[in-house]
Structure 1
Amino acid sequence: MNTVHDEFTQRRHTQNRYIISVIVYLALLADNILLTVIVPILPDFLAEINNKTEVGVPQSVVYKNYDLHYVPNILTKHPIPGKSLINSTSKINDDKTFLTVTHSRSFDKENFSIGLLLAMKAFVQLICNPIIGGLTTTIGFYFPICFGTCCIFISSFVFATGQTYTTILLARMLQGVGSSCISVCGMSLVAQLYPEEDKRSKIMGVILGSVALGVLIGYPLGGIAYDFVGKSAPFVMLCVFIAFIIALQILHMEFNKTPDIVIEAEKPKWKFLLKNQLVMALALGILLSTSAMAILEPCLPLWLLQNLNPKKWQLGTVFIPDSIGYFIGTNFFGMIAYNFGQIKISCIALATVGISCLAIPIADSVYKLLLPHFCLGMSIGIIDAALVPLLASLVELKINDDESTASGEIYISYGSVYAIQQTSVSLAYSLGPLIGGELAETIGFPWLMRIVGLLNIAYGPSLIILYRTYHQVCLVKENQLILSNSDEVPNYKRLYNSID
């Protein structure tokens, strides 16, 4: 009878963690749809706001007077304030006037406003990540995920109803808070629910794929719904979708339940994580690879216009191969990285990121950008699918630390380590475009991409050397524990297997 009960309990636990994983996936999907759905709407919306005080500039000039429906697709996550495409080019070779010089000054304020608005989410998230990581020590993961989902619901509602720049700026900031809660606590919760390394790598890779899927859905949804229905339409649709996610969370999440493993009962063990060279090395690897895309997004469209004379549809779809590649990399390479070695696969992917960056400036047509863009996105996805689960494994090694086990309790800093990982991503997308924009203007776009590519290529071997040194130290500690007390040997084999 007990065996049947145990099997039923195990089956229920397995089914419940699948449901929780789906909920985390949907929350991240909604967050990334909201991230990009606003981009096709912003230029026209801000033009209407600015035109209330401008004389002689036609209303909704960006879309209706100049037929620039492709502009939103190239104003990506974090364009450079004051240096966007609108006031940098006068004509495009498609028999369509892009923008006359006499109107460029009218858009200076609008370009800065767009850059500030789109970058604000990353800056807010950068601040909130360590705070959220620390709060998980007392409130767990369930409540922050639900709170973050409610934040993006309110943000979507404000976007749908807001009529001033201040209101949508506040909505963007609120989305940054919600995104931090969902990203940090969502990945931490999945790491806790899946202690099996193989399943954790597979599930985390699939969940990371929601980022690319959200981007692929967000751009067309925003543009089509805005053109045919109106500004509020895509955000109302998002509100309905997010409300459904909140209902699922209320039904299936146990908000009064503390984590199964005691998590830093006194305070976050930031000192341990910041001193852990391999944890910081993995975070730096994520930062370098993500920075390649963060720098490329705002700089590439202008370079294309100046050198390759692309058609409108080419300019608007140039980043689609990146998103498709990232989706494939995260969904299908998590288990491959686990089986063949997460560090080794990450180093190969870093080299591929570097080669792709080197190949982009030498392309002499838009079509020749397809392969390096696809490889770049897929390589970044592979790096995330390999290193994000490995971070959870590394922080579990803390159980081996005498300081952590002296009281007989187990401390695992899932929240803290994923706060560090999300901080790396936020740094890339907040500072990367700004620094990259200045360097592109100073040394040129081709040399900027060469430098970024060489940094990624050079970092792979460094990561291998650092891992080998760290791994030898870990093996020495494990052997000492085995010799000191053979009856109390922790289960660390899965950590070494996952890396090797």
Structure 2
Amino acid sequence: MVNIPLLNRDSAWVRSWIEQKASQPHMQKRLVLVVVSVALLLDNMLYMVIVPIIPKYLRDIHAYEVEYVGYHNETRRLANGSIVVKMIGGQIDYLDEEIELGWLFASKALLQIFVNPFSGFIIDRIGYELPIIIGLIVMFSSTAIFALGRSYGVLFFARSLQGFGSAFADTSGLAMIADRFTEESERSAALGIALAFISFGSLVAPPFGSVLYSLAGKSVPFLILSLVCLVDAFMVFWVIQPKARAPTARNPETGERLQGTPMWRLFMDPFIAVCSGALVMANISLSFLEPTITTSVKICIHRLANAGSLRWMAEAMPGTPDWQVGMIWFPPFFHHVLGVYITVRLLRRFPQQSWLFAAIGLAMEGFSCLAIPFVQSVGALVIPLSTICFGMALIDTSLLPLLGNLVDTRHVSVYGSVYAIADISYSLAYAFGPIIAGGVVNTMGFLALNIIICLLNVGYTPLLGMLRKAYSYQQIEGGTQIGAGGATQQQAVLLKNGGEPERPPPPSKLSAVTQPAH
């Protein structure tokens, strides 16, 4: 046995002490939150880190066909009678660059959409720990391939493989938080912390990738992230110990495994459907605006004659330096973290008003998008973008805990499928948003795009009023198992009543009169 310096203890004692501490319930919750937050941080860093790296790298490796446009030839006759033809002006046009970049960026979300139904089904059957290990190992592999890839095809494969890993890591991570943190206030705070790590990953990834790419090349940032993925997977395997845990939730009285509600049935739950639609709408604004503002502004500064949002930025903000183009998304992420913190505090005080906070956030997003085409400077542009991110924080932090509560009260407390639905909602917005936004901008202009976003967000807001009744149901607990399906007696009553639990009757006047005073 190896003696550990400073501690003056052998390695076996240190290992047993760590396992003893890690097995305590309150420590298990903290470890789960740390592991899941790191996994979500890594996933969003991997999603955003390629933005400043890959466009330039693909040009450097000559991944596109090129042609020179906008030039003219000048002919000069030298004194000895020779004729010299000189090309004046012009620039390199990378053919189909936007299309190939768009497919590369969207491939992760597209594959994630198709894998999520299967990942949710698997998570409901085998538990949360093994799927998150699988997801992290796949993310490690995809990131390592990205670091070593030298062609567009290899990078496309690695990006798609990341979507496969994210479908397992993200879904099982959120479901694990909902499973460990059973109290509503606890669950809201834990999911809020996880959302803050998502924001931080999106915030720190572009400068992280840009600086390391310029100093050490393409491979270094991806190799660092792949190593952290491997360490996080090792933490799950060693500290949380998936083998020592029950594979899925079990009935407390009989010990039989609870069967999770199928995803298609969850989709038919009107409350879950409204939440899922709200998550899609919440991410429409950023998924539409990111490719038409950030990327387009940079092109606009160098090419002053483009259409749609490109022309809008060139005319509204002439002379914008390059460094400000990437900085327009820097302050909004801090407002997202602030929104998460405020929403968690509000939910502790008003736990049944999550629908109202989500509605306010969605309306804020819509009206902020409507204001974007009328700003005249980068500094002013930060204000509506910050409001959009603040509104997104209100929606996500309100609805993600509500999804867990809906499963507890209306279905079976197995969370894989319901958080797979949430992941599908995010992926839908980011898979098809850039494609739709580009078509709208090219045909109708940037102002029309923002009007459409505003109408969609504000128009969806009244539907969130349906969620007022979501807290009218009592939580489904224990009960006696009947049959092989694992349904409890209370759940059998639910099936008799059309799948919805009976609402508690209002207190009668007599009971109110006879209630003893405190």
* The two structures share one fold, judged by TM-score above 0.5: yes
C-alpha separation in 1, matches of 2:395 and 2:260: 30
Q: Call closer, same or farther: CA 1:245–1:369 in 2, change over 3 Å.
A: same
- Corresponding residue for residue 378 of structure 1: 390
1:446 equivalenced with 2:447 (yes/no): yes
Checking the alignment, whether the CA contact within 8 Å between 2:179 and 2:414 is kept in structure 1 is no
C-alpha separation in 2, matches of 1:206 and 1:290: 19
1:319 equivalenced with 2:326 (yes/no): no
Question: 1:152-191 to 2 correspondence within 5 Å?
Answer: 152-191=139-178
Pairwise CA distance, 1:278: 1.0
The CA deviation string for residues 161-191 of structure 1, in whole angstroms up to 9 with x for no partner, is 1112111111111110111111111000100
1:40 equivalenced with 2:29 (yes/no): no
C-alpha separation in 1, matches of 2:185 and 2:469: 24
Pairwise CA distance, 1:266: 5.2
The CA deviation string for residues 324-347 of structure 1, in whole angstroms up to 9 with x for no partner, is 222222244223234232111111
Aligned equivalent of 1:259, options 248, 262, 267: 248
Equivalent residue letter for 1:349: G
- Corresponding residue for residue 295 of structure 1: 288
Higher RCO, Cα 8 Å, sep 6+: 1
C-alpha separation in 2, matches of 1:331 and 1:30: 21
Q: Call closer, same or farther: CA 1:470–1:228 in 2, change over 3 Å.
A: closer
Secondary structure of the corresponding residue to residue 352 of structure 1:
helix
Question: 1:280-291 to 2 correspondence within 5 Å?
Answer: 280-291=273-284
Checking the alignment, whether the CA contact within 8 Å between 2:262 and 2:417 is kept in structure 1 is yes
Secondary structure of the corresponding residue to residue 39 of structure 1:
coil
Checking the alignment, whether the CA contact within 8 Å between 2:132 and 2:233 is kept in structure 1 is no
Q: Call closer, same or farther: CA 1:469–1:149 in 2, change over 3 Å.
A: closer
Aligned equivalent of 1:307, options 304, 311, 316: 316
- Corresponding residue for residue 497 of structure 2: none
C-alpha separation in 2, matches of 1:167 and 1:231: 14
- Corresponding residue for residue 122 of structure 2: 135
Checking the alignment, whether the CA contact within 8 Å between 1:137 and 1:264 is kept in structure 2 is no
Checking the alignment, whether the CA contact within 8 Å between 2:200 and 2:333 is kept in structure 1 is yes
Deviates more, 1:379-388 or 1:434-443: 434-443
Structure with greater proportional helix content: 1
Aligned equivalent of 2:133, options 129, 137, 146: 146
Deviates more, 1:205-214 or 1:10-19: 10-19
Gaps of 5+ in 2: 1-19, 70-88, 298-309, 478-489, 494-500, 505-518
- Corresponding residue for residue 419 of structure 1: 420
- Corresponding residue for residue 79 of structure 1: none
The CA deviation string for residues 237-286 of structure 1, in whole angstroms up to 9 with x for no partner, is 21232232122122112222213446985564234312211111011111
Question: 1:69-468 to 2 correspondence within 5 Å?
Answer: 102-104=91-93, 107-256=94-243, 257=245, 258-261=247-250, 265=258, 268-300=261-293, 301=297, 302=310, 303-309=312-318, 310-340=320-350, 341-399=353-411, 411-464=412-465, 466-468=466-468
C-alpha separation in 2, matches of 1:203 and 1:249: 18
The CA deviation string for residues 84-118 of structure 1, in whole angstroms up to 9 with x for no partner, is xxxxxxxxxxxxxxxx75422xx123332221111
Q: Call closer, same or farther: CA 1:239–1:269 in 2, change over 3 Å.
A: closer
Secondary structure of the corresponding residue to residue 103 of structure 1:
strand
Deviates more, 1:41-50 or 1:384-393: 41-50
Secondary structure of the corresponding residue to residue 24 of structure 2:
helix
Pairwise CA distance, 1:364: 1.6
Checking the alignment, whether the CA contact within 8 Å between 1:184 and 1:415 is kept in structure 2 is yes
Checking the alignment, whether the CA contact within 8 Å between 1:205 and 1:332 is kept in structure 2 is no
Checking the alignment, whether the CA contact within 8 Å between 1:321 and 1:377 is kept in structure 2 is no
C-alpha separation in 2, matches of 1:51 and 1:432: 25
Checking the alignment, whether the CA contact within 8 Å between 1:264 and 1:413 is kept in structure 2 is no
Pairwise CA distance, 1:315: 1.2
Secondary structure of the corresponding residue to residue 38 of structure 1:
coil
Checking the alignment, whether the CA contact within 8 Å between 1:398 and 1:412 is kept in structure 2 is no
Q: TM-score, normalised by structure 1?
A: 0.78
The CA deviation string for residues 54-96 of structure 1, in whole angstroms up to 9 with x for no partner, is 6889xxxxxxxxxxxxxxxxxxxxxxxxxxxxxxxxxxxxxxx
Q: Call closer, same or farther: CA 1:217–1:471 in 2, change over 3 Å.
A: closer
C-alpha separation in 1, matches of 2:40 and 2:167: 10
Gaps of 5+ in 1: 1-7, 58-99, 400-410, 485-489, 494-500
Equivalent residue letter for 1:16: Q
Equivalent residue letter for 2:208: L
C-alpha separation in 1, matches of 2:260 and 2:206: 41
Checking the alignment, whether the CA contact within 8 Å between 1:47 and 1:110 is kept in structure 2 is no
Aligned-pair identity in percent equals 31
Secondary structure of the corresponding residue to residue 27 of structure 2:
helix
Checking the alignment, whether the CA contact within 8 Å between 1:50 and 1:110 is kept in structure 2 is no
Equivalent residue letter for 1:259: T
C-alpha separation in 1, matches of 2:65 and 2:133: 41
Q: Call closer, same or farther: CA 1:127–1:11 in 2, change over 3 Å.
A: closer
Checking the alignment, whether the CA contact within 8 Å between 1:46 and 1:110 is kept in structure 2 is no
Number of residue pairs matched by the alignment: 419
Structure with greater proportional strand content: 2
